[in-house]
């Protein structure tokens, strides 16, 4: 046990958090993790714009707890952890999608599912007799050297989510921002909801592998929440959200590399810092009056202007 | 589709209901409804809450089948997502953080229902044209969530018009707008039907804002309907007959006041 001095954390604590000794060798060991992180950043950034539009952050958190339970169950049984985590999150996503079409219903179902998932996961981990790092990693993330088989799973998930999202992009945007008019225009609003939940479940399962179940929101909510503060252009929101997510995850992995602390604090700190910066930019702009109009010019005289 | 010059009205009506029935379980909403709306016509749909105004729109939009009779929209049976119909919903506040600019909302009316991501810029010319038409170019790049209620509603009108529909369906589009915005919206709708021959079906619980423009009124009450000019329908005798109770219609200058509409038993809070 180290005694923490009143003056602040001792040098060995800093050393645990930041340690760049032998960095080049470590980097070579984790290049699979970095690829996985980049894939997660791309998919997480894209999905998070819809998570924000559809007001689903709470659902994301709940899905990740069930994903954790699935992964922990797989760990206990000696099965593939990724398949376990996929099973848990897809089940949770489908349950939330099927039972909670209205926001109120949805929130109560989520509130019921979340502790159940977490409890189940804790039970499985308590029974598991293997390495403790495996246990902790599911909750708070880890840079275990992602092996090639795992990377293939992650890449496959990523491709499925990307193809799915691109295919339903326009109607999903329409249904997420104005379900009533979208329905009138022929968008299958009721069908898109479970399809999106499925894609969301896949993405959450991916994130649980890397950032851990407790902090998935830093990849599947914060990037778009930050982007929406600085622009309302849908293309730019998407682009910024992806950039923010990739920077958070890959940056988090790179900084975490030498330390002995889990990866998630790095990812969440970068993600949160980006969000803060975006809010500051938005506040400065609002002061200068940017937010209301792009250009000020008198309206045509034919129709009386609104005030 | 050409859209610029006022087209000579084709003989075929834009909307045709023949002996249409709609019931929910045992409760008929309206029975034997026959209405014909021609190109460029402005028809206001009035009636108490629960009289089936919104259901009429749902049927025309193809979201709900009739329980009897025929309905033709632009000569064809109703179909979900038909290009022949533009739809303007009630004004609701848009979340301020919605990641859409005004022009993106308008564009959704053109290709928001199509699969895939779409080519950026492919629709710009048509979107700009309709933004000009509703005098919204000044705020076309502003976040839609930061616009005023009246401006948002102007954007919704543009969204409904951008695909150049033959029929514009408005579901209480003036609700919760200030008087000035109400005038703007109704004037825009009127301008469009004159320039493009777009037929307008305008559901409202308040006739006065649309009074200067309305050709005919469809009044729904007690499962029955009357259609005709304002004077034909909005008079004490007709409404008293429809409601089966004495109703007073008073004209004061250019306003109409309806008094004494009985409250429907299941609608205790508000029946106009």
CB contact under 8 A, B135 and A300: yes
* Nearest residue in chain A measured CA to CA from B106: A174
Interface membership of A184 toward B (CB under 8 Å): yes
| Top mean-pLDDT range of A135-149, A172-186, A251-265 | A172-186
pLDDT tens track for B226-263: 999 999 999 999 999 999 889 999 988 889 999 888 87
Determine the average pLDDT of the residues in B13-29. Answer: 90
- Rounded to the nearest angstrom, the gap between the alpha carbon of residue B212 and the centroid of all alpha carbons in its chain is 16
Whole-number Å distance between alpha carbons of A239 and A42: 9
* Nearest residue in chain B measured CA to CA from A301: B135
How high is the pLDDT of residue A102? 74
Sole residue written with tokens 């029929």:
B167
User: What is the DSSP code string of B18-53?
Assistant: EEEEEEETTEEEEEEEEEEE-TT-EEEEEE-TTSSH
B215: closest CA of chain A, how far (Å): 21
A16: closest CA of chain B, how far (Å): 39
Instruction: Give the closest residue to A246 by CA, choosing from A3, A6, A22, A46.
Output: A46
First vs last Cα of chain B: how many Å apart?
Answer: 41
Going by pLDDT thresholds of 50, 70 and 90, the confidence category of residue B73 is: very high
Interface membership of A49 toward B (CB under 8 Å): yes
CB contact under 8 A, A303 and B188: yes
- In this predicted structure, the answer to whether residue B2 has a pLDDT above a threshold of 90 is no
Average pLDDT of chain B to the nearest whole number: 89
CB contact under 8 A, B104 and A166: no
Classify residue A151 by burial, with Cβ atoms within 10 Å: 0-12, 13-18, 19+. middle
- CATH (residue range A19-287): 1.10.3470.10
Task: Indicate the range of A161-170, A287-296, B9-18, B34-43 predicted with least confidence.
Answer: A287-296
Instruction: Give the closest residue to B109 by CA, choosing from B140, B86, B129, B132.
Output: B86
Nearest to A304 among B118, B120, B180 (CB): B180
pTM score = 0.89
* Nearest residue in chain B measured CA to CA from A180: B89
A302: closest CA of chain B, how far (Å): 9
Whole-number Å distance between alpha carbons of A201 and A91: 8
Task: Sheet containing B42-47: give its strands across.
Answer: B85-88, B167-171, B199-203, B42-47, B216-221, B224-228
Interface membership of B150 toward A (CB under 8 Å): yes
- In this predicted structure, the answer to whether residue B212 has a pLDDT above a threshold of 70 is yes
pLDDT tens track for B102-129: 999 999 999 999 999 988 778 999 999 9
- Rounded to the nearest angstrom, the gap between the alpha carbon of residue A195 and the centroid of all alpha carbons in its chain is 18
CB contact under 8 A, B139 and A170: no
How high is the pLDDT of residue B267? 44
Sign of CA dihedral B50, B52, B58, B62: positive
Interface membership of A52 toward B (CB under 8 Å): yes
CB contact under 8 A, A169 and B117: yes
Chain A 1-20, residues with CB within 8 Å of chain B CB atoms: none
B33: closest CA of chain A, how far (Å): 22
A237: closest CA of chain B, how far (Å): 7
ipTM score for this prediction? 0.90
Q: Give the bridge partners for B143, in sequence order.
A: B101
Chain A 79-118, residues with CB within 8 Å of chain B CB atoms: none
CB contact under 8 A, A182 and B142: no
Nearest to B80 among A167, A186, A292 (CB): A186
Task: Indicate the range of A284-298, B31-45, B137-151 predicted with least confidence.
Answer: A284-298
CB contact under 8 A, B89 and A181: yes
| Local structure of B224: helix, strand or coil | strand
CB contact under 8 A, A173 and B112: yes
Chain B contact set for A49 (CB, 8 A) = 99
CB contact under 8 A, A183 and B144: no
pLDDT tens track for B147-165: 999 999 999 999 999 999 9
Determine the average pLDDT of the residues in B168-195. Answer: 94
Q: Tell me the two tokens of residue A54.
A: 């559809």
A256: closest CA of chain B, how far (Å): 33
Task: With beta carbons less than 8 A apart as the criterion, state whether A216 and A19 touch.
Answer: no
- In this predicted structure, the answer to whether residue A211 has a pLDDT above a threshold of 80 is yes
| Local structure of A154: helix, strand or coil | helix
CB atoms within 10 A of CB A148: 8
Distances (CA, A) of A200 to A65, A195, B20, B124, B265: 14, 9, 44, 31, 46
Whole-number Å distance between alpha carbons of B253 and A279: 53
Q: Tell me the two tokens of residue A252.
A: 């988090």
Task: With beta carbons less than 8 A apart as the criterion, state whether A26 and A257 touch.
Answer: yes
Chain B 100-129, residues with CB within 8 Å of chain A CB atoms: 100-101, 104-105, 108-109, 111-118, 120
Determine the average pLDDT of the residues in B53-62. Answer: 93
What per-residue string of b and e applies to B241-256 under the rule 16 or more CB within 10 Å gives b?
A: ebbeeebebeeeeeeb
A38: closest CA of chain B, how far (Å): 22
CB atoms within 10 A of CB B75: 12
What domains are defined for chain B? Answer: 15-91+167-259 (3.40.50.300)
How high is the pLDDT of residue A214? 85
CB contact under 8 A, A295 and B148: no
Whole-number Å distance between alpha carbons of B138 and B17: 40
Task: With beta carbons less than 8 A apart as the criterion, state whether A271 and A218 touch.
Answer: yes
Q: Give the bridge partners for A8, in sequence order.
A: A5
What per-residue string of b and e applies to A270-306 under the rule 16 or more CB within 10 Å gives b?
A: bbeebbeebeeebeeeeeeeebeeeeeeeeeeebeeb
Q: Give the bridge partners for B224, in sequence order.
A: B221
Sign of CA dihedral A153, A158, A159, A164: positive
A304: closest CA of chain B, how far (Å): 6
- In this predicted structure, the answer to whether residue A185 has a pLDDT above a threshold of 70 is yes
Residue of A52, A169, A179, A186 to mutate, interface with B, max B Cβ within 10 Å: A186
């Amino acid at each position: 046990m180290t005694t923490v001095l009143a003056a602040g954390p001792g040098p060995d604590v800093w050393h645990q958090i930041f340690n760049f000794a032998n960095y080049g060798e470590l980097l070579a060991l984790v290049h699979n993790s970095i690829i996985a992180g980049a894939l997660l950043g791309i998919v997480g950034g894209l999905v998070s714009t819809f998570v924000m539009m559809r007001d689903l952050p709470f659902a994301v958190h709940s899905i990740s707890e069930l994903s954790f339970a699935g992964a922990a169950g797989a760990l206990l049984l000696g099965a593939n952890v990724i398949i376990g985590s996929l099973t848990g999150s897809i089940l949770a996503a489908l349950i939330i999608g099927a039972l909670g079409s209205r926001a109120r219903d949805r929130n109560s179902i989520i509130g019921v599912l979340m502790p159940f998932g977490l409890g189940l996961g804790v039970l499985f981990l308590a029974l598991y007799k293997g390495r403790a790092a495996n246990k902790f990693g599911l909750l708070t993330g880890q840079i275990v050297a992602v092996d090639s088989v795992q990377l293939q799973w992650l890449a496959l998930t990523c491709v499925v989510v990307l193809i799915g999202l691109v295919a339903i992009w326009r109607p999903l945007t329409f249904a997420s921002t104005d379900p009533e008019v979208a329905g009138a225009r022929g968008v299958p609003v009721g069908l898109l909801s479970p399809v999106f939940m499925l894609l969301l479940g896949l993405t959450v399962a991916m994130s649980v592998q890397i950032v851990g179940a407790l902090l998935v929101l830093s990849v599947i909510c914060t990037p778009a929440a930050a982007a929406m503060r600085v622009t309302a252009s849908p293309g730019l929101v998407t682009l910024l959200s992806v950039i923010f997510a990739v920077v958070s995850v890959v940056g988090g992995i790179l900084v975490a590399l030498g330390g002995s602390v889990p990866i998630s604090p790095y990812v969440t700190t970068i993600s949160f810092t980006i969000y803060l910066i975006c809010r500051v930019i938005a506040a400065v702009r609002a002061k200068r009056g940017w937010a209301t109009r792009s250009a000020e010019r008198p309206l045509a005289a034919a129709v009386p202007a609104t005030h | 589709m050409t859209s610029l010059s006022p087209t000579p009205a084709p003989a075929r009506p834009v909307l045709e209901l023949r002996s249409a029935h709609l019931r929910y379980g045992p409760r008929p909403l309206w029975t034997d409804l026959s209405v014909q709306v021609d190109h460029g016509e402005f028809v206001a749909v009035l009636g108490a809450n629960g009289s089936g105004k919104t259901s009429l729109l749902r049927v025309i939009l193809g979201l709900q089948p009739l329980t009897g009779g025929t309905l033709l929209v632009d000569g064809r049976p109703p179909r979900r997502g038909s290009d022949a119909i533009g739809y303007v919903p009630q004004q609701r506040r848009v979340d301020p953080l919605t990641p859409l600019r005004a022009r993106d909302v308008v564009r959704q009316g053109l290709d928001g229902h199509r699969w895939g991501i779409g080519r950026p810029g492919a629709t710009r010319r048509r979107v700009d044209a309709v933004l000009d038409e509703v005098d919204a170019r000044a705020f076309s790049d502003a976040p839609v969530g930061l616009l005023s209620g009246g401006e948002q509603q102007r954007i919704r009108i543009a969204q409904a018009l951008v695909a150049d529909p033959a029929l514009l369906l408005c579901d209480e589009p003036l609700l919760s707008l200030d008087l000035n915005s109400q005038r703007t919206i109704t004037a825009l709708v009127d301008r469009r039907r004159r320039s493009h021959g777009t037929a307008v079906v305008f559901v409202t619980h308040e006739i006065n804002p649309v009074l200067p423009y309305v050709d005919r009124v469809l009044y729904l009450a007690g499962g029955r309907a009357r259609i005709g000019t304002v004077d034909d329908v909005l008079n004490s005798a007709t409404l008293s007959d429809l409601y089966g109770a004495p109703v007073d219609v008073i004209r004061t200058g250019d306003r109409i006041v309806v008094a004494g509409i009985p409250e429907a038993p299941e609608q205790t809070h508000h029946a106009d």
